[in-house]
Structure 1
Amino acid sequence: MSRYNFLEWNFEQLSKSMKEKEISPVEVLEASLDLISDQNKELNTFVTVMEEDSIKAAKQAEEEIMKGTNKGPLHGVPIGLKDLICTTGIKTTFGSEVYKDYVPHFDAEVVTNLKDAGAIMIGKLNMHAFAYGTTGDRSFFGPVKNPHNPKKITGGSSSGSAAAVASYQCYGSVGSDTGGSIRMPASMCGIVGMKPTFGRVSRYGAIQLCPTLDHLGPMTRTVTDNALLLNVLSSFDEKDRYSVASKKENFTEGINAGIKGKKIGIPTSFYFDIIDTEVQRVFDSAVENCRLLGAEIVPVELPGMDDLLTAQQVILAAEAYTSLERHLSNTPEQVEGEVRSRAIAGMLIQASEYIQMLQIKHKAVEMHNKAFEQVDVILTPTLPMVPTNIDQRMTDSYGLQEHVRIFARLTGPSNTTGLPAISVPGGMSQCGLPIGVQFIGKAYAEKELYRFAYALEQTGAYRSSLSSNRLGKSTLEEAVE
């Protein structure tokens, strides 16, 4: 490995080296920019690289650290932003033609939090147009490609957010999740993605798709990094009407306490009704690893999950149409064709149907709360199948043709309930593609989820998923040497 191996370090390694003045934020940023310059041609992860602003911020961080100021583990660390998160004076495109020239005059709350923590905003990350898709290959700026195999999708809609982190172009990123848009690409790219409890992270300054389903959350290469990033992102914000005033927590606290004696619930239905054999194999291995770590595996009944999935789809369609209605009416030609067709379908949803779906949502929250009386967390696959080819829209499952929107089947329900869920690498498919598993927890139980995810990570699934990344070390060395 070259002398630039620090691009693969975690937050704590990098922060320690900076504090001890062994490496500078400017040196880290310059190496990151070099790698982006090389990799972006292949992977198409960034829409806008904030070179001038990031260099200025890195120099400021360097001066602060040299004077002994320590703002925490993100001080001087390059972080990417999904391109629906507003940044003062920097384009925020929503992955679309409609917003291709939109320049906000304010920062999103999460950007303010990151700047206060000394993080370096390195750029705006490509995404599925309007955050409305499971694949990540429908952006006005072209498809994002999977670092493990550029012919494959990254998953959507936080496609660039996952691919940039997996390929070492930035140390972490902020994505959004409406039906799994953090967890799907995290699974496909072999990284860690957390959808926090609804209201835990302010969405002020993030262009919305669905106000009652949208979440912002951290995407990183390690579980501990993810917890550290959520420490910064999480805050009550009166500017966000959905923000919840919860106590400030350190999400790394107890992260390495182990899971011996803890109870993991495995659903007896729904999550395994449609599932690829490769995904089932990796999931079974993850369950066995948790058992070997001392956890008790408990079957749990989750009745009505099909109704909950339907509720998520109906609420998503109705709210997405409302959010995009102005663009569909005024400039329909600027709304990507696949997104436009899907959004228009939401116009047909009746108010009575929408209300009925909200009732199902409330019943589902009660049902999950009852399950959590028996177990600490619920473990499921993140996705029902492995990544498909870019532009592929139908895939075989047990001889049946399924549309790629099926990727959101196992993640969407947690958006409807608002419960926290984290995708962590579980292993690899035989063709070298990452497969994630998902821990779902009680409301505001992110700390507990990190504890389980960290325990599974230590079994080696995480290391095997990143070490298989063919664009990782070899290209990294070529780009920065």
Structure 2
Amino acid sequence: MVNNSVTDLIRLSAAELAAKLRSGEATSVQAVQAHLDRIAEVDGTLNAFLHVNAEEALAVAAEVDAIRAAGGAEAEALHPLAGVPIAIKDLIVTKGQPTTAASKMLEGWMSPYDATVIEKIRAAKLPMLGKTNLDEFAMGSSTEHSAYGVTRNPWNTNRIPGGSGGGSAAAVAAFEAPLALGTDTGGSIRQPGAVTGTVGVKPTYGAVSRYGAIAMASSLDQIGPVSRTVLDSALLQELIGGHDPKDSTSLPNALEGLVAAAQEGASGDLKGLRVGVIKELQGEGYQEGVQARFNESLELLKSAGAEIVEVSCPNFKYALGAYYLIMPSEVSSNLAKFDGVRYGHRVLPEEGPVTIERVMAATRAAGFGDEVKRRIILGTYALSAGYYDAYYGSAQKVRTLIQRDFDAAFEQADVLISPTAPTVAFELGANDNDPLAMYLNDVATIPANLAGVPGITVPGGLSENLPVGIQFLAPAYEDARLYRAGAALETLLEKQWGHSLISQAPAIESASVAQEA
């Protein structure tokens, strides 16, 4: 008998749900409807979704169910995740759905084409539930800079869900979706994962096509998976990864063995794995509870046979400064086209002659939020004549030094480990008047983007009743190492707790009333 309990279906991992769909214990239509019902129940409070794609999602689910019911070769050829619903960060263009980048500049815009990752999602027949909220054009660490309202953390709706991909992380944490896609430029998948108790992965730069992701900083951006388990992220990365001739930065070969590595790691055996503790990414500046959970994770890894070594990456202390010169410089270039003439809403000047220059000025003043304007101005200054070498050029030299630090560290260790974020989720509005304090949330995640290496965050426990994330980093192309180490820590912690962390989220069940409480 088919079990269509909403609670049962939405609480399953993607892998568990996929198994039930294949066995006939549940249908994809039931699974999609259960998640749509959950969105209707809680998203009025959380605001994780900017657009809900119910009609198309149910149609895809019905198609998958019909193929499975008919059996035969077509049913056998279905992707293992076929019929499992997914949410999409609203920075990834999707034909037939709005893509706004959470900006007034693109309000209501419908893309005429699909991003490469969306083409792969469609081919595998994963029903897309809708588009998730983010900081405008992915600029922020809290999802407070969206033109369409803040997203709230399901663990405590007075707290931020991280950013820029807080919508995807909150949706997965609140059981509105078992899977989501995000983008990570300086930690925008991993930092939200840390503060919402979810798993987030930044693949090796180029391992997943960026074609169709609205560019923020092209040398740093990377699409990656958001999920509740390490295995689910491995399944999703294998699906969306691989070479793409439409992306000149795409790696020539797909990274393989990710799912196998996650399954191997789930045994909890890490004998022979060298885990490097990054000296510069702990201690001062990290909350006491965050450091305590990190230290406990190290002991568990050691008990599982891992060799714990300390490594020093002395140039990491310059990573934040280098990033906030390189990233805004690329932002100023990438967002130049949004001017009301070539792209974006057009706003006419209220008074005086209507010239191209005045139309551009009026459009940008009305279409961009404060944080976007701040970064465009900073980037334009850093690239200007007379300052290029002093700022942008120097930052690129620091980037090279950080890459060399990684090379030296990976000679001593197979993977590196640190807290994902220095604090738990802070209160909404806490950093409104202090952009620098906001930027510090990415201090542990930024080095991976500057070097192009992969990173994963897994839930590491609670501090102040809020999630703490543990980050693993691996050499470029060695994403499988992340999945092995991440799955092992996940298994070890769940054995210690007797449950998964996400199952203990206090605000999830009462998200619709949590704000009043």
Residue pair 1:199, 1:244 contacting (<8 A) in 2 also: yes
**In the alignment, does 2:321 pair up with 1:319?**
no
Counterpart of 2:60 in structure 1 is: 57
Could you tell me which residue of structure 2 aligns to residue 385 of structure 1?
A: 423
- Aligned residue number for residue 5 of structure 2: 3
Please say if 1:117 is aligned against 2:119.
no
Preserved contact between residue 46 and residue 511 of structure 2 (Cα < 8 Å): no
Following superposition, the deviation at residue 233 of structure 1 comes to 1.0
Does structure 1 residue 355 correspond to structure 2 residue 393? Answer: yes
2:51 aligned with 1:48, yes or no? yes
Shift of the alpha carbon at 1:114?
1.1
Residue from 377, 401, 405 that aligns with 1:344: 377
**Equivalent of 1:91, from 81, 98, 115?**
98
Indicate conservation of the 8 Å contact 2:141/2:441, yes or no.
yes
Matched, 1:206 2:244: no
Q: The residue matched to 1:254 in structure 2 has which SS?
A: helix
Match of residue 439, structure 2, among 394, 398, 405: 405
8 A Cα contact 1:428 1:464, kept in partner = no
Match runs of 1:31-430 below 5 Å: 31-68=34-71, 69-70=75-76, 71-255=78-262, 256-257=264-265, 258-327=269-338, 329=361, 330-349=363-382, 350-352=387-389, 353-393=391-431, 403-429=437-463
What letter matches 2:89 in structure 1? K
* Contact 2:448-2:455 at 8 Å conserved across structures: yes
How far the C-alpha of 1:395 sits from its partner, in A, is: 10
> Per-residue displacement from partner, 1:373-425 (whole Å, max 9, x unpaired)?
111100001001111111111799xxxx9612210111111111010000110
- Please, which runs of 5 or more residues in structure 2 have no aligned partner? 340-360, 513-517
| Structure 1 residue 464: Cα displacement | 4.6
Please list the CA deviations of residues 78-122 of structure 1 after superposition, one character each: whole Å capped at 9, or x if unmatched: 000000111112100101111111100111000111111221111
**Structure 1 CA distance for aligned equivalents of residues 252 and 211 of structure 2:** 15
Deviations 1:222-244 (A, max 9, x none): 00001000010101111111111
Task: Provide Cα deviations, 1:351-392, integer angstroms capped at 9, x if missing partner.
Answer: 323233223222322221121111110000100111111111
Partner of 2:25: 22
Displacement of 1:317:
1.4
For 1:456, which of 460, 480, 489 is the aligned residue?
489
Note the aligned Cα RMSD (angstroms).
2.0
1:252 Cα offset (Å): 1.2
Shift in Å, 1:339: 2.7
Tell me, in whole angstroms, the C-alpha distance in 2 between the residues paired with 1:457 and 1:223.
Answer: 8
Q: Please state whether the residue corresponding to 1:217 is helix, strand or coil.
A: strand
Q: Distance in 1 between matches of 2:220 and 2:442?
A: 13
CA distance in 2, matches of 1:403, 1:416: 20
Distance 2:338 2:60 in 1: 35
Alignment-mate amino acid for residue 310 of structure 1: G
Judge conservation of contact 2:319–2:398 (CA < 8 Å) in 1: yes
Query: Aligned pairs, how many?
Result: 471
Residues 192 and 220, structure 1, Cα contact 8 Å, conserved in 2: yes
Q: Which amino acid aligns with 1:65?
A: R
The CA distance in 1 between the partners of 2:19 and 2:142, in whole Å, is 37
Give the distance between the partners of 1:283 and 1:365, measured in 2 at CA: 24
Q: Which residue identity is paired with 1:296?
A: E
Report the equivalent of 1:470: 506
Could you tell me which amino acid in structure 1 is paired with residue 502 of structure 2?
L
Equivalent position SS for 2:59: helix
Percent identity over the alignment?
Answer: 34
Cα drift, residue 3 of structure 1: 2.3
One-letter code aligned to 2:395: M
What is the alpha-carbon distance in structure 1 between the residues aligned to residue 229 and residue 282 of structure 2?
Answer: 25
What letter is aligned with 1:316?
A: M
Mapped contact 1:395–1:404 kept (Cα < 8 A): no
Query: Matched residues in 1 for 2:375 and 2:187: separation?
Result: 17
Query: CA offset at residue 475 of structure 1?
Result: 6.4
1:443 to 473, 476, 483: 476
Compared with structure 1, are the counterparts of its residues 355 and 98 closer, same or farther at alpha carbon in structure 2 (3 Å cutoff)? same
8 Å contact from structure 1 (residues 184, 408) kept in 2: yes
Q: 1 CA distance for matches of 2:110 and 2:33?
A: 25
Rounded Cα–Cα distance in structure 1 between residues aligned with 2:457 and 2:202: 9
Q: Give the counterpart letter for 1:33 in structure 2.
A: L
**Offset at residue 474 of structure 1 (A):** 6.0
Contact 1:47 1:125 in 2 (8 A): yes
SS of match in other structure, 2:119: helix
- Give 2:270's aligned amino acid: I
Report deviation, 1:327. Answer: 4.0
Residue of 427, 434, 437 corresponding to 2:467:
434
The Cα of 1:136 is off from its aligned counterpart by 0.9
Aligned partner letter, 2:482: L
- Residue 479 of structure 1 aligns with which residue? none
Q: Residue 249 of structure 1: CA displacement?
A: 1.2
SS at match of 1:252: helix
| C-alpha distance in 1 between matches for 2:84 and 2:250 | 26
Deviation at 1:2, TM superposition (A): 8.6
Deviation at 1:248, TM superposition (A): 4.5
3-state secondary structure, aligned to 2:105: coil
More off after superposition, 266-275 vs 466-475: 466-475
Tell whether the 8 Å contact from 1:382 to 1:436 is kept in structure 2 after alignment. Answer: yes
In 2, are the aligned partners of 1:51 and 1:122 still within 8 Å (CA)? yes
Residue 270 (structure 1) shift: 4.5
Name the CA distance, whole Å, in 1 between partners of 2:261 and 2:392. 41
- Look at both structures and tell me which one has the larger radius of gyration over its CA atoms: 2
| Amino acid corresponding to residue 119 of structure 1 in structure 2 | L
